[in-house]
Amino acid sequence: MDVKKLVKKWLLSRKRKPESEYEEAKRKFEMAIGKPFITLKLEIPNGFEELYNEFLKLEKDDEFREEVKDLIKKRLLIDKRQKKRS
C-alpha cells in the first residue's frame, strides 16, 4: 500500500472514527514505514502487588527491554527450528 494513502487514511481516521479504529490505522501506518512490532499488555503477577511501583518502572527500563528482546529472539529461533523439523 502507498505510504501517502496510509498517511491520509490515518489522519482521516482520527477525525471520524472511534479511538480503536484510529489506533488500528495508526498501527498499520507505523508497520508500513518501520519495523514490525507487537504490543503486549502485561499484568503484575499475583503475589507481587507490593512491588507495584517497581513493576511500572519496567516499562521504561532499558535493561528489561533488552532482556525481553533476547527472550523474543530465543522464542523465534525455537519456533524456526521446530518448523524445519516438521
Convert the pLDDT of each residue in 41-72 to its tens digit. 999 999 999 999 999 999 999 999 999 999 99
pLDDT higher than 60, residue 16? no
* Predicted local distance difference test score (pLDDT) of residue 1: 55
* Predicted local distance difference test score (pLDDT) of residue 14: 61
- Cell numbers standing for residue 24: 488500528
HEC assignment per residue over 19-79: HHHHHHHHHHHHHHHCCCCCCCCCCCCCCCHHHHHHHHHHHHCHHHHHHHHHHHHHHHHHH
* Predicted local distance difference test score (pLDDT) of residue 34: 84
Q: Which of 81, 72, 75 is nearest to 36 (CA)?
A: 72
The pTM is what?
0.62
